[in-house]
Structure 1
Amino acid sequence: MNAELFRHTYYPYYRKLYRIAYSILESSQDAEDMVQEVYLKLWNRRNELDAIQVPEAYIVEVTRNLCLNSIRRAEHKRTVAYDSDMQEPESLYTQMEVKDEVELLMDRINLLQDRPKKIVLLKDYEGYSYEEISDMLGMNINHIRVILSRTRKTLRDYFNQKR
């Protein structure tokens, strides 16, 4: 998709996207930033946009998802900050037990095949969203979700056997 077709197809939705982002984020600056991020994301994927049947629905969905992911990241950071401030002292036994479980988990993750290993580490360890992982690995989001679900199940089954 060339720049002119992109501008003609997607720019008319700017105000609508801003209203959607503002209704979710409740901040004019954040909404403005989010809409810019949407257009940047679309531009980076411009070669794939020709296959989109309903551009308005697609761009609205991308906007909504990016806004919700932004809120989730902010809530996660706030929760982690709160939890780290309010930690109760743990017994030495509990600390050793947790350390052993983390080491066992990391050993098991290191045994995974390359793709599931990358996805688990990016999502659960580094906190990336599905869309960010999709951009990094060039994979379909649904495929990422399936791989992550199966990998988590494998890890869960492994730990349930160990107990």
Structure 2
Amino acid sequence: MKQSDFLKAVLPFKDKVFRLAKRLLVSTEEAEDATQELYFKLWKNKEKLGEYKNVEAFAMTMTKNYCFDRLKSKQASNLTLVHSNYKEKDTSLEKKIEYKDSVSNVHKLIENLPEQQKIIIQLRDIEQYDFEEICEMVDMKPTAVRVALSRARKTIREELIKQHNYGVS
């Protein structure tokens, strides 16, 4: 496989790999390292990429596994919690702060979900993968993926309602 063929095959989903790594590792620097490591591994095994039905799903699975390995390692204690993914143009400062707080709040709620739900909500609601691709990536049946996604959304919705109604009788 030539370098140009390799790049055509793997570059279209680079941002998705990074966002999944960032969701799992939280730190931008760690996510960048994970993305770089994944692409290095893909390059080393470029001759085998043609054997995979869906290279993107394979790469996302590799990313998930790499991130879990990083989190389990001793270096995981060095990971920092930083979220600043949301940017909006032409909005008042008050609205920007409100949006940032809301997005940050949802990110925190997602972070508190069980790992499986966290990955599935990231892949479906943020990365916009369809259910078949998610099933392949997480090695689960469609029904199980739908149930996990539903539970994750319900948990987030209930927490947001609870926070919104706090102190209201």
TM-score range, shorter-chain basis? 0.3 to 0.5
* TM-score in terms of structure 2 length: 0.43
Query: Which structure's relative contact order is higher, taking Cα pairs within 8 Å and 6+ residues apart?
Result: 2
Q: Whose Rg is larger? A: 1
* TM-score in terms of structure 1 length: 0.45
